[in-house]
Amino acid sequence: MPTDAVPLARLLVTCPDQPGIVAAVSGFLRNHGANITALDQHSTDPVGGTFFLRAEFTTPDLDLAAEALEAAFARVVATPFAMDWRIDYQARRKRMALMVSKFDHALLELLWLWRRGELDADIPLVVSNHDTLRDEVERFGVAYHHVPVTRETKAEAEAETVRLFTEAGVDVVVLARYMQILSPALVSRYAGRIINIHHSFLPAFIGADPYRQAFERGVKVIGATAHYVTEDLDEGPIIEQGVARASHRDSISDLKRTGQSLERDVLARAVRWHLEARVLVHENKTVVFA
């Protein structure tokens, strides 16, 4: 069987740094029939720092079912090393909801990658506060739900969105240029699982219309930022960023065109890394094993 066809699992670990962590993890996996195909690690400081680890391993020859394996890992490895950890199984594909308003570029990029089999997830639905992109989305065979939002109906709209997500068993939410601020309750419900693309190189030009802000400042570099959503607007942990040169000759339209290309690429990378369990959040920063 080709290597890329063998079912995999991914272990993510955060814990206080101390000797023996890698040996304990690799020894445990070996003893239970796993073959480690990738292992990455990082420490903020070898003395008194925080240690991060990502291990990818094959699952067909494991001698324990997933639940028993995790219980054994907790007892033998995680508890002694005070680990915050999880195992993601490739066989348990995440269910990802996309949210969008009127701009289609980031949304269509994700749908195209998904149709090509390049995103390790299922996309059961798209939710939008406009009905503009229904035909585009339905061509991919994905359900499109128009949930209008006004200042007066925002709470009801979010309740309907949560209902749709719950019925679809959504694990991950991607804001592919969804131009509404989510409530703290919704953010908390999917904490660490909502990814947004911001059309700026954060922390510069937060909020609305950053391309106009960039044009008025005469910037020479523009960017895009993918980050996890928190209750603080545009201040969540950054997953990925991209930049491109700008010129005094560029109009606002030129900056938007270049920026939208960046947005597509940056968001796609961030989503892929999240789905492949390559991102660890620590405080308000990320460790990305890309």
125, 143 contact by CB (below 8 A): yes
Residue 2 has pLDDT above 60, yes or no: no
- Which CATH number covers residue 234? 3.40.50.170
Question: Looking at the structure, do residues 54 and 152 belong to the same domain, yes or no?
Answer: no
Range of the domain at 46: 3-89
Confidence (pLDDT) at 203:
59
Residue 46 has pLDDT above 50, yes or no: yes
Query: How far apart, in whole angstroms, are the C-alpha atoms of residue 28 and residue 213?
Result: 53
Question: Looking at the structure, do residues 207 and 132 belong to the same domain, yes or no?
Answer: yes
| pLDDT grade for 3, boundaries at 50, 70 and 90 | very low
- Which CATH number covers residue 80? 3.30.70.260
Q: Which of 4, 40, 209, 234 is catalytic?
A: 234
Instruction: Check residues 21 and 45 and name the one with the higher pLDDT.
Output: 21
Q: How far is CA 160 from CA 127, 186, 195, 270, in A?
A: 10, 11, 20, 27
103-125: per-residue pLDDT in tens?
999 999 999 999 999 999 999 99
Single residue among 89, 122, 155 that ends a domain in this structure: 89
Query: Average pLDDT, stretch 35-49?
Result: 93
Instruction: Check residues 69 and 211 and name the one with the higher pLDDT.
Output: 69
115-168: per-residue pLDDT in tens?
999 999 999 999 999 999 999 999 999 999 999 999 999 999 999 999 999 999
pTM, to two decimals? 0.91
Residue 82 CB coordination number (10 Å): 10
Q: Count structural domains, the chain.
A: 2
Tell me, yes or no, if 122 is annotated catalytic. no
Single residue among 89, 112, 141 that ends a domain in this structure: 89
Confidence (pLDDT) at 105:
96
Question: Looking at the structure, do residues 66 and 119 belong to the same domain, yes or no?
Answer: no
Single residue among 63, 89, 115 that ends a domain in this structure: 89
